[in-house]
Amino acid sequence: MVNEAISNLPLFNSSDNKASTWAQVILPLAIPKTYTYTIPPHLQLKTKPGCRAEVVFGKNKKYAGIVKSISEKKPEYETKEILNIIDDEPIIYPQQLALWQWMSDYYMCSEGEVMAAALPTHLKLSSEATIVYNETFGEDFSELDNEEYLVAEALLLKKELKLPEVQQILDVNHVYPLIKKLIDKHVCYVWEAFNEKYKQKTENYVMLNPDFSSEEKLNEILNNWTKAPKQLELLLSYLHLTKTEGDVNQTSLLKKSGATVAQLKGLTEKNILLIQKRNVDRVKNLPQKISIDFELSVAQKTALDEINIIFSEKNVCLLHGVTSSGKTQLYIKQIEAYIKKGKQVLYLLPEITLTAQIIRRLQKNFGGNVAIYHSKFNNNERVELWNKIKNGEVKIVLGARSALFLPFKDIGLIIVDEEHDSSYKQQDPAPRYNARDAAIFYASLFNAKVLLGSATPSVESYYNIEKNKYGLVELKERFGGIKPPEIEIINLREVAASKKGKVILSPQLNAAIGNALANNKQVILFQNRRGYSPFLICATCGFIPHCDNCDVTLTLHKYSNKFHCHYCGSSYPKLTTCTACGTVNWIEKNFGTEKIEEELENEFPANKIARMDMDSVRGKTAHDSLIKLFEQQKIDILAGTQMVVKGLDFENVSLVGILDADGLLSFADFRANERAFQLMEQVSGRAGRKGEQGKVMIQATKINHPVLLFVQHHDFKRFYDFEIDNRRRFFYPPFSKVIKIILKHKLKEVVIAAADTLGDALKKDMNDFVVGPAAPVVNRIRNLYLMELLIKLPKDAYMLQQYKKVISNNFNLLHAEKKFRRVVLIADVDTM
């Protein structure tokens, strides 16, 4: 009987008489591999890759894992049984499973860690999870079956239950499928600590009591109406609205009829109208229209044709378009073409550039076909979107890097805008993936195309063009024929000689700001440090306040009047007297955005000045409202960190100032030049619009630094040639693959000994490729001491996989030693 069932599954070559099959299950944990479970006979048919399986792991912890594959080969160890299969249909497609596996292999983490990152909380169940009663469900349990009813009743009383409690109520072992049904019916939801508490969004809807739904009954009421004429008016308005608009919600009824809540209450008390609380879709339902309301310029049209020619032979094309060349318009045309073919499109942006500006633009052109996905979304919004993307209802997703994990049904195109941006790389926790690179792999599974876009392409991507792996299309002219900004480099050394202390605004820049403001233009100033003063030093004894938990100087912040640590987030009261010598003799070293703001307020008291950095845009909408105010020219000068650099188009900015170029060029990192070039070039691009050439002033002391000269001439090609030469010489990417190994422990001597042991072991197998161990510049964060090793490996896919195995094995060996058991080991592949 069982065999018959099995033989119908395509995965089995029937005839042989094996009754048992096994499933490899991915558990959402940082355990190194998948685990095999026995599929009991009654679940043989239900078990499909991509479905969630309820399993016990460890002593008695339960998890909802994902079935990765099914095999009939008996494993060599005893296996536990799958308790139940939660889903009737897989919740992810085979392409997701393939992406997870690739990420786990490539970025040296477990598939479980990828799974934990990929699935929305509501799809993750474990015995630690709490099930919470959904208050808006009400108490109508008539639709529930016996078991569901029992749990719902208990939830109604206790408001929340742990999974083991649900088991007790039902006196059965496997409860996940039942919980899934209760979640689907909106009786409850999953709540995990650390995540925001669920709030279902509801609206009141007005309904006619079904008893009066017949024409006769209704006429009877209307004809016999005596008192309360206002209520009658309201009732008539309601009847009219149901005819014209269908469902009527309370707010719009009251607005359109001009009635009061009291009058509506009168009607509900008479039991003529009923109020029903309804859950509302959080994902806004705009009409699914497409209306492209612009024409491409000749240059843009040519570029679009070139992209399509490249796509006929290659899967990846880089669009190198100078700032303001109108790349977004090209993307929109390209998206239109793909969704007309019935394909889905993923449009990736760095989180910070995912602003209302770009969202509005896409919604204007594609209406409800577009869904937005980013980290500010809550869990409910995530699940709603998840389902709509999986069934193909949503055609276009605009999102930050994690949007890559969504279950696309049939993706045709992935756009990675600002492809050079380092925020595509996830730092912590695992998977430490680069969404641009993962997107290229993911697209290949669908035979889809990838369009990378940037005004300042990454060295790696540009190298792939040289090697003929990617195609290249250039947009060299700014839209509307605006000239690139003129760039002036100001020698701070000459200025500083005549002024004491660090110069914030040189006389030249100061005059230029005044000039711009006099002409009713706006100004952007860029400094890559937030806060007031990055560190203070006692002039008497040289004492510098440091964080207690980290090896970093404390930044003075004016808004809080406190010292803040930018690494662990702790804050300290501002010191008046020196802790070491007791004198009051502080010197403020260097300057952050707050100090710039203060200086500007002194210099230009009549103008409106605003600051844009992590501190000033903490709220959900603060970033967008600041951008809006600047757009509407209610702000004259905007000073900020790299937040002001990215992806924003302003019409009226004539001057951009880069206050401290040295700070950008002095990082001890092989990507420092690249990042400095990109930032300066990008921020320069904010200057000049509408037929007027903008101006950029760069303040620096190392005025002959080659990168500054490349920026001055907007010469990406010369920058690339210079940089690729460095990379080749020192065997850095794109000529090698780098893996950074980070060790952490609360005792300095332990972490150093561990790093030495690991370093020695790795050098046995790959001596030439190991650099270090060494302590990083900041060698203690959150009370953990750090050590690092850098491994530069040749680019050979097979060898790379072998070396990664060597690293993993050595991690295990190190952890096997008792004294090193608690050392945190991290491998960061393609570190940024």
- Positions touching Zn ion (CB under 5 A) are 538, 540-541, 543, 547, 549-550, 565, 567-568, 578, 580-581
Nearer to Zn ion, 547 or 638 (CB): 547
Contacts of 788 (CB under 8 A, 6+ apart): 740, 741, 742, 743, 755, 772, 773, 774, 775, 776
Contacts of 717 (CB under 8 A, 6+ apart): none
Token reading at 230: 């206002």
Nearer to Zn ion, 172 or 541 (CB): 541
Phi-psi region of 494 (alpha: psi -120 to 50; beta: other; left: phi over 0): alpha
Of 617, 670, 673, 671, the residue nearest 640 (C-alpha): 617
Of 51, 61, 30, 59, the residue nearest 162 (C-alpha): 61
Nearer to Zn ion, 549 or 808 (CB): 549
CB 112 within 8 Å of CB 27: yes
Q: How far is the CB of 572 from Zn ion (least distance, A)?
A: 10
Q: How far is the CB of 777 from Zn ion (least distance, A)?
A: 14
Nearer to Zn ion, 53 or 565 (CB): 565
What 241-246 contacts at long range (C-beta under 8 Å, 24+ apart), as own/partner pairs, is 242/208
Look-up of token digits 């951009």: 656
CB 811 within 8 Å of CB 789: no
Nearer to Zn ion, 572 or 735 (CB): 572
> 721-739 burial by CB neighbour count: b if 16+ within 10 A, else e?
ebbbeebeeebbbbebbbb
Nearer to Zn ion, 409 or 746 (CB): 746
Q: How far is the CB of 89 from Zn ion (least distance, A)?
A: 48
Cis status, amide bond into 28, omega within 30 of 0: no
Q: How far is the CB of 619 from Zn ion (least distance, A)?
A: 24
Q: How far is the CB of 788 from Zn ion (least distance, A)?
A: 18
Q: How far is the CB of 779 from Zn ion (least distance, A)?
A: 12
Q: How far is the CB of 781 from Zn ion (least distance, A)?
A: 7
Q: How far is the CB of 783 from Zn ion (least distance, A)?
A: 9
Spatial distance between the Cα atoms of 719 and 823, rounded to a whole number of angstroms: 41
Q: How far is the CB of 553 from Zn ion (least distance, A)?
A: 10
Nearer to Zn ion, 30 or 581 (CB): 581
Q: How far is the CB of 568 from Zn ion (least distance, A)?
A: 3
Sheet containing 202-208: order of strands: 248-249, 202-208, 273-279
Q: How far is the CB of 555 from Zn ion (least distance, A)?
A: 10
Q: How far is the CB of 105 from Zn ion (least distance, A)?
A: 35
Spatial distance between the Cα atoms of 107 and 400, rounded to a whole number of angstroms: 19
Token reading at 356: 């209302």
Spatial distance between the Cα atoms of 752 and 713, rounded to a whole number of angstroms: 46
Cβ neighbour number for residue 520 with a 10 Å cutoff: 10
Question: Please, which residues bridge with residue 26 across strands?
Answer: 66
Spatial distance between the Cα atoms of 793 and 583, rounded to a whole number of angstroms: 53
Nearer to Zn ion, 532 or 732 (CB): 532
Look-up of token digits 């969202």: 359
Nearer to Zn ion, 420 or 566 (CB): 566
Alpha-carbon distances, residue 356 vs 149, 351, 363, 377 (angstroms): 44, 12, 10, 14
Nearer to Zn ion, 156 or 778 (CB): 778
Nearer to Zn ion, 581 or 587 (CB): 581
Q: How far is the CB of 562 from Zn ion (least distance, A)?
A: 13
Alpha-carbon distances, residue 522 vs 107, 108, 293, 513 (angstroms): 44, 47, 28, 9
Nearer to Zn ion, 339 or 538 (CB): 538
Nearer to Zn ion, 218 or 568 (CB): 568
DSSP state string for 460-509: HHHHHHHTTSSEEEEE-S-GGGPPPPEEEEEEHHHHHHHSSS--SS-HHH
Phi then psi for residue 446, to 5 deg, are -105, 0
Nearer to Zn ion, 567 or 650 (CB): 567
Token reading at 389: 């993307």
